[in-house]
Chains A and B, each alone.
Chain A
Amino acid sequence: MNCFLADVYSDKKIIKDGVIPPEFVYSSSGYLAECEGVKPPKGIASHISGIDLVQSRDGTWYILEDNLRVPSGASYPLIARDLCRRASPMVFRERKIADNRNYAALLKTTMDYVNTGGDNVILTPGRYNAAFFEHSYLAEKTGAVLVTGNDLFVENDRLYYLDYQGEKRQVGAVYRRISDEYLDPMNFLPESLIGVPHLYDVYRKGNVAILNASGNGVADDKGIYYFVPKMVKYYLGEDCITHNAPTYLPYYEQDMKYVLDKFDEIVIKDVAEAGGYGVVFGNKLTKQEKEDMIALIKAQPRRFIAQDVIDFIDLDIMENGERVPRKADLRAFVLSAGDVMVWKSGLTRFSRNPDSFIVNSSQGGGFKDTWVLLH
C-alpha cells in the first residue's frame, strides 16, 4: 500500500500502465490533489494500518478492508487484556498467549523512525471526541505529548508547542487523530477549528512527519480495494497470501452483468460511505427497492462495488449473561518503520444484533481482546 501511495502522488506508473483507470483515483473522495508531489519523511505514507480480517466457514481468511487513514481501537484490547490479567492471572500463566503490552513500544518506534527532529505529539480533537480515551492512553504509554490543534503553532518553517514552562519546543512527528480535511484550515477545509494553520506547509518542506500521511484515503477507498491484489502483483511481483473478498466493479461490463445476474446473492457497497453505512444486501430489498438500486448502479457504476456474501465464522460473545454467536471481524494493527511490524494482538469487533453483519462501533458494535497463541 505504501508503494501505491508513493506512486499515485508522484509518477503514477500504475495508472499509465493501465492497471488502475484514472477516474478511480481522481474521483475517490480520499484523493487529495494537495498531496501531489509531496514526499513523506522516509517515504512512508501509511505508518499505522488497521487491516480488517474475517474467516469463512471453510477456514479461508479474507481481508475486508485496509484502513490506512486513522485506524483506531488499539487501546481497547490493551485495556481488556490488562483487566483480564488482574482478574485471572492464571489464564495467562497456563496458556501461551503472546504478550500484547509492546504496542506502545511499536508505536514509539514508528514515530521515532520518521521524526524529523523534535518531540513526538499525539494530536487529538479534544476531550469530547469519542476516542479521547485512546488518544490520552497512547500518549501516556508512548511518552508523546498529548496536544490539541490550539497547542500547536507554526513559525516560519517549523512546528512548535509550548511546554509547561512556557518554553517553545519543536515538533518532529505528529500522530494525528483528526482526519485530513480538518488537519490544516489554511490548506484543507477553512472551517476547521481543530486543526493547525500552516501545518501542511511545513510538512511539504519535510520539516515534520505526519502519521498517517494525508491523502491515504485514496488507497483504502472501497473502489480501489478491488485493485489491491493487482497492486501487490504490480509493485512486488508476488501474489497475495491473504485473499480479498470476491469483489465486482459494475464499472466493468462483465462485472455489471454478474451483479445483475446474482443480485440476490451479493452485497452492494457505496464507495463514498464508511462506518457500515451505505451497505445493501441484494436479498433484503423489496421489488421496488431492487429496481431503484439497479437503476442507480446503472446510472453511477463507479459509485458502487459488489461482493459475494461470505459466510463468516460467528464468534461467541456474552450478552445478558448468555453465550451467543455473533458476526465478528478482526482488526490487525500493522506498523511500518523501515521494517513492517505486526502487533501480536488485535481488535475483535462484533455485532450486538444477531441479524446484523455490521460490526462498526458507530453502529452499536462491541469489541473484545484478541489473543495470538504461541506454539
Chain B
Amino acid sequence: MSETDRQDVPAGAGESETVCSGPLEFEFFYEMQSEFDREIEGHNFRLMCFPADSQRQKVRSVSYEILPHAWLSEGRDSFGNLYVYGRADGRHSSFSVRVHGTVETGHSCFEAYEDGLSDLFRCSTPATAPGDFAAAYFRKIIPAEQEDYGTALYFMRRIHEDFSYQKGVSDTNTTSEQTFERKAGVCQDFAHALITLCRMAGIAARYAAGILEGEGETHAWTEILSGGKWYGLDPTNNCIVDSRYIKLSHGRDCRDCLVNRGIYFNPARETQKVHARAVMI
C-alpha cells in the first residue's frame, strides 16, 4: 500500500505544528574554499548546495559564484535536488564556491510525498545497512507498538540520549553500523543511525542536508514518512525540524547529498574550508 492511501493523521503532527512557528525569512550564505597543494587540471565538478522550493520553504533569491570555471550549467536530480555542474579548464590550485540567497522557511512542518519512492527509502544502502551492532541496539530499545511518527520520535530521543556528539571519530565514509558500535559521531552519523533504525522498523526514512540557523558547517538530519508526509527529525539536537532549518538536498544517505563532487587530473592534497551561515531577516 502506498503512503498516499493512508488517511490517518499521525499523532505528534499537532505537536510539531506548534513548533513550526510560521514563515520566517532567512538570509543564507554557503562558502567553500578548496586549496590544492599542486596545480590540478581537467577539473569537473558538481555542487549540490542550492535550496529548492517545497511545502516547507520558498526560495526568494539565490545567486552563486564558482571560480574558476569554463562553463556552468544547472540540473535537477531524481530526488528533485538542484545542482550546478561545470568544468574548469587549464590549471589551478584553488577552487571557490559562494552561494548567497534568501529563503522563507516554516511554511509547513512537513513536505508532501510526491515522488512515489517510499519503498526505495525503506531499503538499506551500504552506508545505512544494519549489522550486528545495529540489530543489538534495535532489540534493546524495541519500541512499543505505535504509529510511524511516534516510533521515529522515540528513536530520535534514544539516539540523542545514548550517543555522544564527538568530532574526529568518524569521516564521510563512516557507516551507521560503525556508529552503532562507537555510539559517537557527528550530525551525519546521527542522521544515518536514525535512518537505519527507522528502516529496520519499516518506516521510510531519508537523509537531509542543509543549513541550520547560526554559523558553522552544513548540517544533516533525517526525514521520515508518516501519513503521506515527510517530517524532519534532527537526532543531533533532539528536535523536530522547524523554521530554523534550510534544506539543500535529500537522498537515500549522505552519498546522494554530497555538496561537492569533483574529479581532476594530478594527484593533489585538497584542504577544504566550509562556512555556512543563516541569519533571520
Contact = CB atoms under 8 A, between A and B. Distances in A.
Contacts, number: 65
A174 B46 CA distance: 22
A36 B71 contact: no
Contacts of A12: 116
A201 B78 contact: no
B271 interface: no
Contact of A197 (B2, B44, B75, B120): B44
B120 A37 contact: no
Interface stretch (A22-30, A164-172, A344-352, A366-374): A22-30
Contacts of B116: 11-12
Interface residues of A, number: 29
B87 A204 contact: no
B81 to A, nearest CB: 12
Given A33-B252, A37-B78, A198 B123 contact: no
Interface residues of B, number: 26
A113 to B, nearest CB: 25
A35 B78 CA distance: 7
Contact of B119 (A22, A187, A190): A22
Given A36-B115, A185-B263, A198-B44, A26 B75 contact: no
Given A36-B78, A36-B115, A205-B75, A27 B123 contact: yes
Nearest to B252: A33
B263 A197 contact: yes
A224 to B, nearest CB: 15
B77 interface: yes
B73 interface: yes
Interface string A2-20: 0000000001100110000
Interface string A174-211: 00000000000111001000000110010011000000
A88 interface: no
B60 interface: no
Contacts of A22: 119, 122
B38 interface: no
Given A37-B78, A198-B85, A201-B73, A186 B115 contact: no
A197 B115 contact: no
Contacts of A205: 75
B88 to A, nearest CB: 12
A156 interface: yes
Contacts of B2: 16
Interface string B79-93: 100000101000000
Interface string A105-135: 0000000000000000000000000000000
A289 interface: no
Interface of B: 2, 44-46, 70-73, 75-79, 85, 87, 115-117, 119-120, 122-123, 252, 256, 261, 263
10 contacts: A22-B122, A23-B119, A37-B115, A186-B46, A187-B46, A197-B87, A197-B263, A198-B85, A201-B85, A204-B77
Can you list the 7 inter-chain pairs with the closest CB atoms, starting with the nearest? A36-B78, A22-B119, A197-B44, A26-B123, A156-B73, A201-B75, A186-B46
